[in-house]
């Protein structure tokens, strides 16, 4: 009888793409494994997971807002309904193991799995554990983490320090530079700045880049700009003033291996997935942590690199004044770029997805 695994969570690319990487590794280890994803209705996993070739079902679960809203009033009802639906999904699919990667849906699914006696594994991407994972970890069999020191949140004997799983195509991207230049329509003799704010965009980064387009143009750089959907039209209108074709804006880039391959310097938020990908891609990076992330975990993620001289830091509050100048200085400093590239590469964990998949298989009855 085929082994069956449920993977739950999502909400952002930082949860979704590690989950997909784990799923691919499980299939690689055992092609007969049946995998079902459970996400939150209306969230991006409902699009991204089927695109990756996996089945997903959605729960009506939502997060709690900071302010008093109708969603907060409805939260208890949606939580109860999601728990009921999660138990029904478990009864019908009959998984051998349930995996939680963080995000709204992981709570109801892993709680229902625990109540049903199904072994659970948590994959915590960040250097600061979220409330949901801290609660779920009490009954989890295994907790896979990406940063040292997670004993502050989880029982030490359950922890496996394995890193964050990322898309395997990001490895060995140096060989893809010629293909990447052709794909994005760039030229080889110009330095390229790749700006990304995560799957949903980053307003502070976007505004800072928009106000600095003339500086980048005068310096002769190419710009690959992932804006997120909310900002794409603003960005496209802004780069129309620079008709040379050296500035390209996208709401979302699926070919991230090519984006890293073409980049000389990357500007990024400090989400766990972005940091892990930058380590694998060995790219000189300027990190702009999102200051309102839970427990300011993006700053903690960034500092893990800064302490190793593996990236540069610009705070969100200083981005408007400092981001463009920092990028220009780094683009024009080959020694610093080489130093950052060497150091960030030392922090990579290229086999994280497979090692997590093997931990999942150990839990099979």
Q: Calculate Rg over the CA atoms of the chain.
A: 21
Cβ-contact 76, 64 below 8 angstroms:
no
The reply to whether 276 sits in an annotated binding site is yes
What are 149's two structure tokens? 């020191």
Spatial separation of the C-alpha atoms in residues 337 and 352, rounded to whole Å: 26
Cβ-contact 143, 161 below 8 angstroms:
no
The reply to whether 274 sits in an annotated binding site is yes
* DSSP code string of 218-252: HHT-EEEEE--GGGHHHHHHHHTT-TTS-EEEES-
The reply to whether 116 sits in an annotated binding site is no
Q: How far is CA 9 from the centre of its chain?
A: 12
Of 41, 159, 145, nearest to 102 by C-alpha is 145
Spatial separation of the C-alpha atoms in residues 69 and 334, rounded to whole Å: 50
**What's the burial of 161, exposed, middle or buried (CB within 10 Å: 0-12/13-18/19+)?**
middle
Angle at 111 between CA 33 and CA 118, to 5 degrees: 40
* DSSP code string of 68-96: --HHHHHHHHHHHHHHHHHHHHHHHH--S
Count the neighbouring beta carbons within 10 Å of the beta carbon of residue 64. Answer: 11
Instruction: For residue 136, report the phi and psi dihedrals to the nearest 5 degrees.
Output: -65, -30
The reply to whether 272 sits in an annotated binding site is yes
The reply to whether 167 sits in an annotated binding site is yes
The reply to whether 14 sits in an annotated binding site is yes
The reply to whether 170 sits in an annotated binding site is no
Specify binding-site residues for UDP-N-acetyl-alpha-D-glucosamine: 12-14, 126, 167, 199, 253, 272-277, 298
Specify binding-site residues: 12-14, 126, 167, 199, 253, 272-277, 298
């Amino acid at each position: 009888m085929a082994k069956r695994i449920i993977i739950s969570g999502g909400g952002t690319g930082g949860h979704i793409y590690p989950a997909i990487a784990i799923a691919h590794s499980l299939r690689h280890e055992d092609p007969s494994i049946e995998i079902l994803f459970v996400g939150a209705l209306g969230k991006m996993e409902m699009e991204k997971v089927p695109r990756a070739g996996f089945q997903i079902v959605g729960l009506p679960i939502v997060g709690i807002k900071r302010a008093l809203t109708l969603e907060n009033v409805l939260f208890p009802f949606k939580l109860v309904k999601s728990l009921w639906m999660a138990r029904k999904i478990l009864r019908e699919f009959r998984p051998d193991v349930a995996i939680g990667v963080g995000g709204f849906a992981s709570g109801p699914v892993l709680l229902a799995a625990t109540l049903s006696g199904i072994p659970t594994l948590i994959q915590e991407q960040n250097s600061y554990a979220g409330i949901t994972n801290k609660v779920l970890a009490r009954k989890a069999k295994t907790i896979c983490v990406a940063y040292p020191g997670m004993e502050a949140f989880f029982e030490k004997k359950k922890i496996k320090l394995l890193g964050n799983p990322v898309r395997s195509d990001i490895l060995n991207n140096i060989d893809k530079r010629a293909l990447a230049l052709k794909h994005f329509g760039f030229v080889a003799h110009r330095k390229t700045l790749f700006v990304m704010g995560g799957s949903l965009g980053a307003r502070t980064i976007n505004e800072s880049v928009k106000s600095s387009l003339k500086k980048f143009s005068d310096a002769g750089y190419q710009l690959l700009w992932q804006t997120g959907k909310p900002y794409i039209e603003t960005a496209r209108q802004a780069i129309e003033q620079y008709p040379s074709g050296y500035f390209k804006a996208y709401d979302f880039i699926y070919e991230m291996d090519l984006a890293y391959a073409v980049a000389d310097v990357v500007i990024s938020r400090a989400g766990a997935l972005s940091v892990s990908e930058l380590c694998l891609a060995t790219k000189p990076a300027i990190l702009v942590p999102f200051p309102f992330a839970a427990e300011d975990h993006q700053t903690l993620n960034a500092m893990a690199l800064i302490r190793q001289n593996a990236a540069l830091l610009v705070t969100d509050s200083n981005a408007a004044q400092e981001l463009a100048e920092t990028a220009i200085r780094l683009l024009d400093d080959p020694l610093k770029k080489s130093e950052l590239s060497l150091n960030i590469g030392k922090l990579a964990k290229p086999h994280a997805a497979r090692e997590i998949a093997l931990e999942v298989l150990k839990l099979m009855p």
